[in-house]
Structure 1
Amino acid sequence: MSEDFYDVLGVSRDASAEDIKRAYRKKAAKYHPDVSDDPDAEEKFKKIQKAKKVLTDEESRQAYDRLGHDRFEQAEKHGFDAGAGGAGGMGGDPFGGMGGMGGGLGDLFEQVFGGGGRGRDRPRKGRDLRTTLRIDLEEAYEGVEKAVTIERPETCETCDGTGHPPSAEAQTCPECQGRGQVTQVQQTPLGRVQQTTTCRRCEGEGTLYSETCDDCRGEGYVRREAKLSVEVPEGIRDGQTLRMEGEGAPSPNGGPYGDLLIDVAVADHEAFERDGDDLRYRLALSFPQAVFGDTVEVPTLDGAAEFEVPGGTQSGETFRLEGKGMPRLRRRGHGDLYVKVQVVTPEQLNAEQREALEAFAEAGGEEIEVEQGFFERLKSSF
């Protein structure tokens, strides 16, 4: 189980509080120490509880998104309140970046744990986005190219991401004198620390503008629908994730784009049950086929296949067709197809069939009236 709180709960970084609570209830039911057989259930349950606690508190979640998992854990370890008051002025950065940093312990960690300097000038990767792609079992067998549509933030073309039109008048920020950062001295649990933070007024640019862009309202980005084509490899399983690099959200300060994570959901099949790379299929056989044996045809995902049913086959017996299962993802070969036989007792018989079965019963030494339950007894024996 990943350390990242979002991965622990199996939710995207855009998940709502209700989505997080639903995911928590599902995971908690699976890993509660009182009901789970997992040897690491107690440890996993504690991680699930902590993830839910942090991500359902708005301020703690903002601090977690801002600092990242490792620095957030360091903050708690050293006794800092990384949530309420420790996050500083978060702003509303849609890219998951630093936003407008307004001081506080969050900014202190930029200093103490490798931050410092002018944070907005350091290119940071944009936020990853997540979506779900639904395919059927045949598509998972063959591999397929699918179209996905997502809504994502993109750089505003009108202002080229600056947040202001080219005609806007510029003036030096009076609060930081154009440096884009201000220096403060604070008394902290670690002692007296000189702290350099991004200027709140100009958000680190050092310049103020007389106008904001009408299209993006000064944010520098707009949300647009994007249609992408994704290659789904053959053999992919339900719940696996594909990554499209550079198709996520843009960086807030010129860094690389984030990635698009595509969770694949493979639909159940009406005929086959999937078990890893293997497939399972139920085959109905008549009583004579089971008794005398027969060459039968069974469906596969690559056309029909024949195999020999030996005489005396019992209901519930399973046969293996090697290499007739799913392709092994990014490996050579296929899984197997397991065919489970079910002997079917006819519900209606003509006179000739009744006579033959009555003779069969008598030949076996059974004194049975056919009309008085022979077929019911025959059926129950299988």
Structure 2
Amino acid sequence: MSEDFYDILGVSRDADEDEIQQAYRKKAAEYHPDVSDDPDAEEKFKQAKKAKEVLTDEEKRQAYDQLGHERFEEAEKRGGFDQGPGGMGGQGPFGGMGGQGPFGGGAGGGQGFGSVEDIFEQFFGGAGGGRGGGSRRRQGSDLRTSLEIDLEEAYHGVEKQMTVERPTECDECGGEGHPADAEARTCPECDGRGQVRQVQQTPFGRVQQTGTCQRCAGDGEIYDETCSECRGEGIVREETTLSVEIPAGIQDGQTLRMEREGAPSPTQGPNGDLLIDVTIADHPEFEREGDDLHYHKGLSFPQVVFGDTVTIPTIDGEVELEIPAGTQSGEEFRLAGEGMPRLRRRGEGDLYVTAQVVTPESLTEEQQEALEAFAEAGGEEIEVDQSFLQKIKSSF
């Protein structure tokens, strides 16, 4: 698969955000690890997601187009770049005043960029880049909830409706946190930049860090009046009903991710994701172990002595099982393909049936006489196969 983000999604370099989102949804549906049989599905899914995240972020996309794939990836991996000695005329592409190598910057040396976001701001944002100069679109926070299903639903897969309480944009102020006619003034904390810089002295020298201004939340402006509905937060909590697709074969404790169904961004960026922890309720008949199921079948003494054909329930119906003559209590039989669907592979697990001889609690006079005759004919000594005894011991 090509490394170029545009090629990964199969869109042109002038594609708009809607085209990119639509292309990503197609790739996600094709390569999602829960549904794809492609051995490289997980990696392709991650590449498509990364491509979408970069190309739908205006500043990152501009940086990607200007730097190219390799430089962009290198910048993100490094996260920060130390500057070389001070002086005029930095070397290499984008060498600033006194900086060495790629992305060296800053007059007279000093510290390097704190993160890759600072690179974007330096080259493509700057003081005039949007309201407050330092404001960037950030993804909202992820939310987490839980959902319980039964074993039958995990076997077949199911669509569940669930109600989630999550923060959402305030309708009263449109997410701004203040009335439309509120008077704005420059934030005194960040002087309108939307960001504040702090310098700390460490054993390795002075370290400069850049962070979002907490007073104005990166806007660069504050207002003389706040919204009465959201109290200036721009966000209120509301209940939302979502349709959740549970894939067949899901395991107890696995987590589903619903993209963009989390908390909204405080900076007009994309929503976070909703994480759903799935638990599977205990079943009255079956015990699950991975993709396999276990079932205990009660059998009478005559059935195990003479053999019999018995009906065994499965999640998807019933099957017949031949019980051979002389079956011992605790013996296990395997029914191939009668277990749970495999989540990321084709086929199903197996159903293991354990024979359990049931001792009657009461007998008729005729039954008692027959058993007494059987005991007298066979004597009191009972020989037990050693391999069977080993099975019994291992079960404890």
**What is the aligned-residue identity percentage?**
67
> 1:188 offset after TM fit, Å?
5.0
2:228 aligns to what?
214
User: Which of 180-189 and 141-150 deviates more?
Assistant: 180-189
Instruction: Output the CA distance in 2 between the equivalents of 1:269 and 1:196.
Output: 54
1:274 aligns to what?
288
> 1:169 offset after TM fit, Å?
1.9
Q: Supply the AA of the counterpart residue of 2:277.
A: D
Does the 8 Å CA contact 1:120/1:253 hold for their aligned counterparts? no
Which blocks of at least 5 consecutive residues in structure 1 are unaligned? 1-73, 75-108, 369-373, 375-380
Q: State the secondary structure of the residue aligned to 2:314.
A: coil
Distance 1:293 1:222, change over 3 A: same
Instruction: Provide, for residues 25-69 of structure 1, a one-character-per-residue CA deviation record: whole Å limited to 9, x for no partner.
Output: xxxxxxxxxxxxxxxxxxxxxxxxxxxxxxxxxxxxxxxxxxxxx
> 1:307 offset after TM fit, Å?
1.0
Distance 1:119 1:135, change over 3 A: farther
1:129 to 143, 150, 153: 143
> Are 2:334 and 1:320 equivalent residues in the alignment?
yes
Does the 8 Å CA contact 1:119/1:198 hold for their aligned counterparts? no
Instruction: Output the CA distance in 2 between the equivalents of 1:119 and 1:260.
Output: 31
Does the 8 Å CA contact 1:141/1:326 hold for their aligned counterparts? yes
> 1:251 offset after TM fit, Å?
1.2
Instruction: Output the CA distance in 1 between the equivalents of 2:340 and 2:301.
Output: 31
> 1:191 offset after TM fit, Å?
3.5
Instruction: Provide, for residues 258-284 of structure 1, a one-character-per-residue CA deviation record: whole Å limited to 9, x for no partner.
Output: 111111000111111111111111111
Q: Supply the AA of the counterpart residue of 1:251.
A: S
Q: State the secondary structure of the residue aligned to 1:213.
A: coil
1:226 aligns to what?
240
Instruction: Provide, for residues 76-123 of structure 1, a one-character-per-residue CA deviation record: whole Å limited to 9, x for no partner.
Output: xxxxxxxxxxxxxxxxxxxxxxxxxxxxxxxxx995344545796222
1:262 aligns to what?
276
How many residues end up aligned between the 2 structures? 266
> 1:197 offset after TM fit, Å?
5.7
2:114 aligns to what?
112
Q: State the secondary structure of the residue aligned to 1:121.
A: coil
How do 1:189-204 residues align onto structure 2 when only pairs under 5 Å count?
Answer: 189-192=203-206, 198-199=212-213, 201-204=215-218
1:300 to 314, 326, 329: 314
Distance 1:248 1:181, change over 3 A: closer
> 1:158 offset after TM fit, Å?
1.3
1:357 aligns to what?
371
Distance 1:346 1:217, change over 3 A: same
Aligned alpha-carbon RMSD (Å): 3.2
> 1:172 offset after TM fit, Å?
3.5
> 1:295 offset after TM fit, Å?
0.6
> 1:319 offset after TM fit, Å?
0.6
Instruction: Output the CA distance in 1 between the equivalents of 2:318 and 2:190.
Output: 75
TM-score, normalised to structure 2, is: 0.60
> 1:170 offset after TM fit, Å?
2.3
User: Which of 350-359 and 131-140 deviates more?
Assistant: 350-359
TM-score, normalised to structure 1, is: 0.62
